[in-house]
Amino acid sequence: MLQQTKLCIAAVAGILSHCLVFIRNEHHIQAPQLFRFFLLLSLFLFIGEARLWALSDSGQAAKTSALIVLSYAASLFTSIAVYRAFFHKLRKFPGPTGARVSKFWHVGKLLGRPNFKVLDELHQQYGDFVRTGEPFPPARNQQSSSHRKLLGPNEISIRSPSAMAEINGPGSRCTKAPFYDLLLPRTSIITTRNKTLHDQRRRIWDYGFGAKALNQYEPQVDHYASLLTSAISQRLGAPMDVTSWFHYFSFDLMGQLSFGKSFNMLATGERHFAIDLMRDGLTLLGLFTPTPWLARIGFSIPGVASGWKSMFVWSDAQMRERIDREDDGENNDITSWLINASRENNSLEADRSWLNGDAFGIIIAGSDTTATTLAMLFYHLALDPCQISKIRAELVQLDAKPDARALQTLPHLNGAINETLRLHPPVPSNGLRESPPDGITIASTFIPGSTVLCLPVYSLHRLASCFERPLEFIPERWYSKPELVHDKGAFAPFNQGRFGCVGKNLALMEVRAVTAALLNRYDLEFAPGMGKGEGVERDMGDQFTATPGKLELVFSERVRKGEV
């Protein structure tokens, strides 16, 4: 009888925990502490039961305490499931039953498929608005209590061209979602959810990516493009995994622009250990993107994602070395703009966490995205050599070594890059946003306040209502056949508005420079046994940024007309 009473009390406690605590406000940041508290409470419960049993039957004590814990957990999750399925504010939106109840459904799907494909399949089945869930509510901590509403699985994935401007446009009142708190207490312009701090930081970054800065970076871009060209010249006729080599190029360049020194992967042909450390964390990050609270628990456990944590330590050390190194006072890399701005404001020490976070963000966002675009562009060029001929016909009209400004004027080159970005956006699931407290109307559909909004550009870029023959690679749609683009607003590989990619122009400069350098000098084809290179697209992953599969190409010295 006493045991039944305890179980009933535990069950009531589970329901009250949901109704009074977990149904309100954010808890993902405190998830590690809550997890440890739950484990500690379970231990104390066992000790208490052991004392009641006078330490004579530890097995019975363990059984009783386990039943009490299970009773609490069962009632807590039953209460959550019932509320989310039948009483939640998003209950009228279509979506899988499992996603309505728990984000674990979504995580389970990601065990076998990348997130952008999971979302695309959901949209094909349920339409343009799909409820995909969110275990903890995204109401901002600084909001007044009137906005701290009863929430739950709180995410809507939207496939509507008008949503891009309404969610990410200059006048949007949407903010970043809890996902961006994953790296706290580390912060950066990419992860901060505070609009004021973001805008202040963005003004500094804008100087680092303005026309003057890009002119200063161009020689370094050309230098690393030349290193890549030289590496290929040493491997002519042999299969090359260009997915890896494009990563070597982009990471080496971003190392130079972040820390003032290269990773030297183009020279050695070997992956730098720091990249493996980063991949360790991105794998976990990609899997648990739907559950930021679970990712934070994972990151807090010793031994889990140890490489990721080591990468932070290494990155911080590189930034410390970069700050301490004397230079000529010129802003010749991205971090110099950030460091000098802090020095001018006498806030170098106070800004250390920002500088560390921003440098780490440059490495990830500035390298993965460029490498992915290059891999997918050369995949399409190898599939259709006619595209190479058209680009070469433009290049032949330029100087032997065209500069960045000249490459900007080539319609087919830039059309091919745009088509690559359309079919294979480097951030395919896009960043998660949060609707304003009073809600937002998108495509005549009202979305309640404090709802997490997902806008998967992979799906949006392939809408037939926005792009004629959406699955085909047609560079001409961007210059000579504009009728093939029905809605230009749907094209947003770099996002839009205040949260748009600040490094967009640098990334495009890199892609143009590498493409021109390689096509001017080499012919290329798929390596024997690679078929048509299907693996690069088939094995594409989604770790916030896209991670293409292996693409092996064989390069040979270009045979020009009239040459033997």
Three-state SS annotation for 317-354: HHHHHHHHCCCCCCCCCHHHHHHHHHHHCCCCCCCHHH
Mean pLDDT is lowest, of 466-475, 496-505, 549-558, for 496-505
Q: What is the pLDDT of residues 275-303, one digit of tens each?
A: 777 777 677 677 777 777 777 777 778 87
Tokens of 153: 């699985």
Whether 135 has a pLDDT exceeding 90, the answer reads: no
- Which whole-number Å values give the CA distances from 392 to 25, 416, 478, 499, 561, in the listed order? 57, 12, 18, 35, 12
Distance CA 174, CA 222 (A): 38
pLDDT tens per residue across span 363-411: 777 788 899 999 999 999 999 999 999 999 999 998 777 899 999 999 9
Give the model's pLDDT for residue 133: 65
d(CA 257, CA 171): 32
pLDDT tens by residue, 20-79: 877 766 666 667 777 887 788 788 777 777 776 555 566 777 888 888 888 888 888 888
Q: What is the largest CA-CA distance in the chain?
A: 97
Contact 532, 241 (CB under 8 A): no
Q: How confident is the model at residue 125 (pLDDT cuts 50, 70, 90)?
A: very high
Geometric angle at alpha carbon 547, from 541 and 551, rounded to 5°: 105
pLDDT of residue 54: 59
What is the C-alpha to C-alpha distance for residues 332 and 338, in angstroms, rounded to an integer? 11
pLDDT digits (tens, 9 = 90+) for 199-225: 889 998 998 899 999 999 999 999 999
pLDDT value, residue 139: 37
DSSP state at residue 28:
S
pLDDT at 136: 41
Nearest Cα to Cα of residue 192 among 544, 429, 543, 431: 431
The rounded mean pLDDT for the chain is: 86
* Burial class, 463, CB count within 10 angstroms (exposed 0-12 / middle 13-18 / buried 19+): middle
Is 501 annotated in a binding site? The answer is yes
For 493-503, what is the mean pLDDT? 87
Mean pLDDT, to the nearest integer, of 75-92? Answer: 85
List, in order of start, the domains of the chain with CATH numbers.
2-86 (no CATH), 185-428+498-557 (1.10.630.10)
Region class of 170: left (phi > 0), else alpha (psi between -120 and 50), else beta: alpha
High-pLDDT (> 90) share of the chain, % = 45
Find the mean pLDDT for residues 237-260: 93
Predicted TM-score of the model (pTM): 0.87
